Every structure is written in structure tokens, then in C-alpha cells.
Amino acid sequence: MSLSLAPVTFEHHRPAFGIAETKPRISYRFEGTAVDWEQSEVDIEITQNGIPKVYNVKTPDSVLISWPGPELKSKESATVRARAHGLDGQPSSDWSQPSTVETGLLATDDWQGAFPIAADRTTETNGTKRPVLFRKEFSVNSTTTKARLYITALGLYVAEINGKRVGDHVLAPGWQSYSYRHVYDTYDITDLLQKGDNTIGATIGEGWYAGRIGFNKQIPRNLWGATLGLLCVLSITDDSGKETTIKSDLSWSASTAAIVSSEIYDGEVYDSAAELKGWSTSNFNDSDWLAVKQLPMPVGSLVPSDGAPIKSVEQLKPVSILKSKSGKTVIDFGQNLVGWLKVTVSGPAGTNITFQHAEVLNDGEIDTVPLRSAKQRDTLILSGNATQTWEPSFTYHGFRYVQVDGWPSATPLDGTSVVAQVVHSDMERTGYFESSHELLNRFHENVVWSLRGNFLGVPTDCPQRDERLGWTGDAHAFMPTANYLYDASGFWRGWLKDAWSEQKRGDYMVPPVYIPSDDVNDDRRERARMPVSVWGDVVVGHPYQLYQNFADKQMLEEQYDAAQAWIDKGIPRNDVGLWDRSTFQFADWLDPKAPADDAGAATTNKHLVSDAYLIEMTRLLSSLSEVLGKDDLATQYADQREELIREFHKAWTEAYPVIANVTQTALALGIAFDIWAPSTAARTSAADTLREVIKNNTYLVGTGFAGTQQLGNALTSINATSDFYKMLQQTEVPSWLYAITMNGTTTWERWDSMLPDGSINTGSMTSFNHYSFGSVADWIHKKIGGIAPGSPGWKTIVVAPEPGGDITSASAHILSPYGAVNSSWTVRADGFHLSVTVPPNSKAEVTLPGSGETATIGSGTKTFFVEGYTIPQ
């Protein structure tokens, strides 16, 4: 019986370097096979300034334990390890491997003397901005023991020291609501410095800050500013403990070089002939460089990131090089992905190579129509000097195919000369699922790929067309799935801070429909600030779901006001408290029956959907109030919900045999949100009707964004899980597996983004990488895989697989905050076999299918058997 602890982690950081919290909460996962193990106390050793001190904390908690030591100061680091003790007679663990935590620039004068600098040149206000290089030489006279670079940009930055790239973040500092929150990053640059002459350089591109970002006909530029700027502090501590700082100020110089343009939507143009060799080293003559000028400090607070940085996390090689119908050369990566190419090539000077990225082929050619105005095209012009390796710096693309024009004959085009870099926020992968059903497994893979393609700094709707915005409705639908697959806690924490900052601007208390929005262009602000259900409801749904997954009350406190403000003030009500009927709604967006050119024309009334969500959001707010000990408010919202249910029935059910719209969405929402609970007869009739509607639709999907995420839950709650299996296993359009039969490798925006004849949906929004309909994976994890958090943060686990359809075995695995949770089952001739692994310090409530028998188990691996069990059909 072994027990060990993984290295401790801090708050929701990955890694905890340059963080804002001075008393970061500590968590650790358990490893090993200890049976029924529970923690009684823990020793936490904190080493500050070389002096270790052990704190004994009597607590059963192993997640988010309060920092027991003295508060960390600005730029201070500590090493922390833990050793956990069990209840009487249970073993203790050894010390965990040490983890380091370090704070960022937290003192008020830390940035003093530093200010954003811009090149002393005219800014291209109405067009693409040529990236700007900044450099500064400095000398280091003694041995460096510790050096840090704190850096951000008005735009995006890449930093170099003595010719070497600093760190491995890309598209840094990511995208925030810069008017409120402007992230800076911290790097350990100790090893990059040398005694004597040193040089720091940084290239700044326009990014989201100053680039072309938005949607619809006119996409504005310069949402947060028109001038590219660099802001940094470099801190060097020598062996005598003396600290010297180098700051962005007027002593720097600036220039432009090989990157002619690099834009989020449109791609990069790189002219190798304009490269400035050695510009970030000290042997470089910068006498013809420009002076720099001072810009005002960023408007938003300078803060470290809550979430993981964006990185290149994987490389894919081409699976084939095709010739298109018209004879063009097209690389197929076999996987729709997000990122860019990295190429190694040589050829004559002036060779102009273009890389046109696309998600699909249509009639034998790459199809760029779904990109709308986004070019997604990179151009590399060779200098002819030598073999060079290039990848773009300030753009990203959604693609599986790349049409290459102008590739020089001197270099073979293959997996050694071209690879795809897969790029996303570098969160920890936590959740997995597998089954005996191959198409379902591929679907699950696609869900993961669409998450990876759209968790890039913010949760985007799509990664390829001229949009890529943090649409709230999409995030709301997908959140439970996302939190199982990855630890997205820090990612959401930052995004929800921006949501709240934007929501409380003015006094409407309406969150924009995509975040970050902007507060610059009034016209656009109006559009982004529409109060709409499901989308706006994210400020209630997210805090609730985050709390279920990570049990962080402090984070919930941060988010509670937004939830309450939306319910109390943001939602325009009619005289009985339901949604104001004059409001615009997206509601059951992309109902499969909506025409290609009218995605909102759903078969379920928009205000019916809105009212159902309002009832559910009011319940969630009541529950959150209770968690935070706000008992009066909990009661108040619970009562409000009862009243809303009564009004819902008056509006939507009483005058009809069942409900105003006899659709999958209307019925599923009513059932899943318990709106029929007061009357068993009415609920039964709704349940029967839902089953009939689904059957009459030959088990094809009839839901859009609002209904899809709740359909499985509704069917399971009325003991109709087998119906949902029939839907899940459908391969005709519209169904989840249809895209797999069409060789889709990501989840699509529309049920029929590609039509059965292989042509592309003609609607103006046709993405092949949208995560919303992948929201069904939450149900797959819970009911096929069989695991879900039972109490917040996975302290208890609900294990309740419900086999169905043709699936004879499945397994689900998650690295919960406590450690590895596993459920694997198989149905054989003799019955149902289940194996469950529970990590130390947590428990599982296991419900066996068929028998309904339940058991509560502690840590360890246990097996179960239901004799004679057969899969219900």
C-alpha cells in the first residue's frame, strides 16, 4: 500500500512563476495504491531565503490549502513541498518533490521608470502595421545569480537576449480586455546573460490590440490602440545581492526588419532579404536605427496571467502532398488544427513562396470561402543566402490543408521541410475517454481537437474566419466538457475577470456577447452589449460549473457579483419577471431545421428558450448563494424560481396539450431544468412526448446550441438513456457522428457544415472547427464513461455508467484535483464488469446498472460484477 504526493501546485497556475498571489493556496494530488486512505494533517515545508520552515496543518483538505507561511513579497520565490499524514493507523507519504513559486512585480514602484516605448515613426493607422524591433545594449559587470524579464506589449511581443529567444510563449501576452487587464509575463533569463556586453531585443506585432478584430461587414482596427509599444523591466541580481534594472525607456532604439506584416486573420509576409542579422546581439551597428518615443502606460492594470501561456505544443508532419484538380500543390496534415507552419527551405534570392491555409477541400481544390475576409495566407520571400528555418510570429491559422505556391525545386517538400505547429493555451490535459465504438472514439478525439483549436488565450468560436471571438454562448455550452478534458480553471478565471469588468461598465450589467469586446467603438459596443439569454447566462453558468469542477470558494466570491448583477439587473424582464419579449435572442442557434442563411430561425420559440434558461440560472444563483453562506439570498432566488416556473407554465404550457413548441429543445429544457417538477402527470406527458418526437425524427438531432447540451441529461433523467444512445450512434445528418463519416477531424459549427455530397454549406458562417455541439461529450463522460464530480472539486466521485447501444466496453479517466480517477466497464456473456479507481482522500459513490445497487468506496481499485446483465436496447 503505497502513498506519495505529486509536486504541489499553487492557485490555478501552470507554472506558478511571476504570479500575483502573495499567499498562494497550495494543492497536491495523491499517487499510489493506498486503500481507503484519508488525510488527517499535512506538513508543508516552505523554504524562503534558503531557510526551510515546516508548518503542520491539521486539515483533511489537500486542495487549495491556505498558505501557512509569511506573505511573499514582490519578486520573491519560495520552494514548497508537502508530506501528508493519514488517519490513525494509515501511512504517511514521503515529502513531495519540491515546487517553486515566485511572485511577479507587485510593489507599486516596480514599474517606475519604465514606460511603453514606440518607434519614432508614423503609425500605419488604417492598414496593417509593420512589426517593430526594439533593442538595447547593457553591460553586466559581476556574476549574475538571478535575472528576470518582466515584459508585455501594446500588441504582441517576441523577446531575444544575445541572439537567443526568451522563453517559449507564443502570441504573448495573449488577449485580454486590455482596457481593464493587461497581462505581463515573467521569464527566468539568468542563463541568457553573460559577463560583459549584453543586448536585449524585442519584436512587437499588432496582435489583437491594434490589429483587425471583430465580425460582420466592417471589422475595425486599433480597438485598444494604434501604436505598437514595448514595456519591460529586466532585473539582474549579482552575487553580492545587488539588483540592477534595465527598463523600457528612451535609451532604446527601434527599426523594422524582415516581417513586413503579421496579422491575426490575414497571415504574415516575411522578406528574408530585410533580415537584420545579429540585431539582438552586441556586435551590431544600430547607428541608422530610429529613436523611440514614450507612450502612456497601459490603461488596464498590469497583472500576471491567471491561465497558462499560449505555446506550440505539438508538431504534425504532412500525411500527404496532393495535386489539386487544377494542378496546385496542397499539403494535407490529416488533421484540422490550429497553429502555423514551420518550414526549412533554401532557394534562389527573391523566391516568393505562399502558403494558403484552408480547412477543407471542395471539388478537388482548397476552399477559402468559409474564411470570409480572413486571408490566412503567409508569404515567405527567400534571401538566397542559405537554408533557413522560418515560422510566422504574430498570426495563427485554422487548417488541415495548405496550398503551396512558388516552392523552390532545390528543397523537397516533405515532412523534413514542412511541419505544422499546433498552438493553444498550454493547460494540463486531465480527461480521457475510450470505448468499443470506433466512430464514437473518433468523435471524442474531434471534440478534443476543437477544444485545442479554440482555447487560445480566450475561448474562441472558431479559429479560421474573420471572427475568432470569445463568444459567450459557445463557452457556456462547452464548459462542462472542457473542464473534464483539461484543467481550464486558470484560463476561465482570467476570462471571467474580463467578463465582469466589461459587464459592469455603465450600469446595464449586461455582459457583452463576446469577451473581450471593446470600449472604443460605440457602434460596435451597442452590438456586443445586447442582453441575450444563454450567451449572457454564462456569468451564472460558468461560476456554478467551475465550482463543481474545482471547488474554489475564493474564485466563486470573485464571480458572484457578476452572476447576481445579471439576474437582478441585466436581464430585461416583462411584467411577470420573464424575459422581455422585445429583446433580440440567439436562443436555439443553429437548430438543424434553420435555413443555411438564417442560423437563428429555430423551431423553438426564442423566448421560451430564454425563459427556461432564466429559471435554471436562478436555481444556480440560489445554489451559489448557499455555497457562500448567503442564506437569505439563496431562499430569495429559490422563491423567485418557483414564481418564474408558475409564469412559465402560464406563458408556455397551460394553453397547449404539452408545450407551445413540441420540439426536442423545448421538451428537453423543460425536463432537464425540472420545470415540470410540480406535476408528475405533466412531467410524464412531457417525457413521453420527447421520446415520441425523437422517435418520429428517426433519432436524428433536432437541437441547436441551447438544447444540445441538455438533451442527454433530459433523456437520462426520464430513464430514456437508450433513446439517447440511438441518437448518438446515428450517422445520418444531423447527428454527431455524421461529420465522422465525412472524414471530419474536428467538430463542426453546423450539423451540416459539409453536405452529404461533399460540397460546403453555403451559409456565410461555416466553420469546421467549432466546439459547441461537442458539448455532448459531457454526457459521454458521465454516462458512458461513467464518472462525474459528486461533490464539488471531485472530493466525491459519482460512478454510474449506463451502458447502451452497441457499446460493449468503455472507460473514462480523469486526473482530478485528488489524483487519478478511473472507471472501466465491459459487458461480457456472463454480465457487467466494472473496475473503479479512486485516489486517496476522496470517495466514490458507485451505482451499478441494471441492479441499481449502490456502494460508497474509498481510495484504491475495486471491481464490481452484475451477473447476467445485458445492455438495454
* Interface residue list for ligand BGC (CB under 6 A): 461-462, 467, 471, 473-474, 586, 589, 765
Q: How many residues does the chain have?
A: 873
Which lies closer to ligand BGC via its Cβ, residue 203 or residue 376?
A: 376
Handedness of CA 717, 723, 729, 732 (dihedral sign): negative
Q: Which residues contact 546 (CB under 8 A, 6 or more apart)?
A: 479, 483, 489, 492, 493, 552, 555, 556, 559
Q: Contact, 219 vs 211, CB < 8 A?
A: no
Distance from first CA to last CA of the chain, Å, rounded?
A: 41
Which lies closer to ligand BGC via its Cβ, residue 30 or residue 748?
A: 748
Nearest-angstrom CA–CA distance, 502 and 513: 11
Which lies closer to ligand BGC via its Cβ, residue 167 or residue 370?
A: 370
Could you identify the residue written with the cell 511581443? Answer: 157
Which lies closer to ligand BGC via its Cβ, residue 517 or residue 841?
A: 517
CA distances from 141 to 85, 164, 372, 638 (A): 49, 20, 55, 67
Which lies closer to ligand BGC via its Cβ, residue 279 or residue 478?
A: 478
Backbone φ, ψ for residue 77 (5° rounding): -120, 160
Q: Contact, 301 vs 376, CB < 8 A?
A: no
Write down the least CB distance from residue 355 to ligand BGC, Å: 25
Write down the least CB distance from residue 709 to ligand BGC, Å: 13
User: Which of these, 827, 731, 724, lies nearest to 778 by C-alpha position?
Assistant: 724
Which lies closer to ligand BGC via its Cβ, residue 11 or residue 518?
A: 518
Write down the least CB distance from residue 544 to ligand BGC, Å: 20
Write down the least CB distance from residue 69 to ligand BGC, Å: 45
Which lies closer to ligand BGC via its Cβ, residue 528 or residue 715?
A: 528
Write down the least CB distance from residue 456 to ligand BGC, Å: 15
Could you list the active site residues? 467, 749
Q: Contact, 505 vs 300, CB < 8 A?
A: no
Nearest-angstrom CA–CA distance, 654 and 661: 12
Nearest-angstrom CA–CA distance, 641 and 616: 8
Write down the least CB distance from residue 450 to ligand BGC, Å: 12
Q: Residue 314: count other Cβ atoms within 10 Å of its Cβ.
A: 14
Name the DSSP letter for residue 165. Answer: E
Q: Which residues contact 457 (CB under 8 A, 6 or more apart)?
A: 171, 174, 175, 176, 310, 425
Which lies closer to ligand BGC via its Cβ, residue 304 or residue 541?
A: 541
Cross-strand pairs, 271: 381
Nearest-angstrom CA–CA distance, 580 and 583: 6
The interaxial angle of helices 606-627 and 664-672, nearest 10 deg, is: 20
Which lies closer to ligand BGC via its Cβ, residue 536 or residue 804?
A: 536
Strands (E), 359-464: 360-362, 365-367, 377-381, 388-390, 397-405, 418-425, 428-429, 431-435, 455-456, 458-459
Q: Contact, 165 vs 196, CB < 8 A?
A: no
Write down the least CB distance from residue 449 to ligand BGC, Å: 17
Nearest-angstrom CA–CA distance, 589 and 609: 11
Q: Residue 530 class from Cβ within 10 Å (0-12 exposed, 13-18 middle, 19+ buried)?
A: middle
Write down the least CB distance from residue 467 to ligand BGC, Å: 6
Write down the least CB distance from residue 790 to ligand BGC, Å: 31
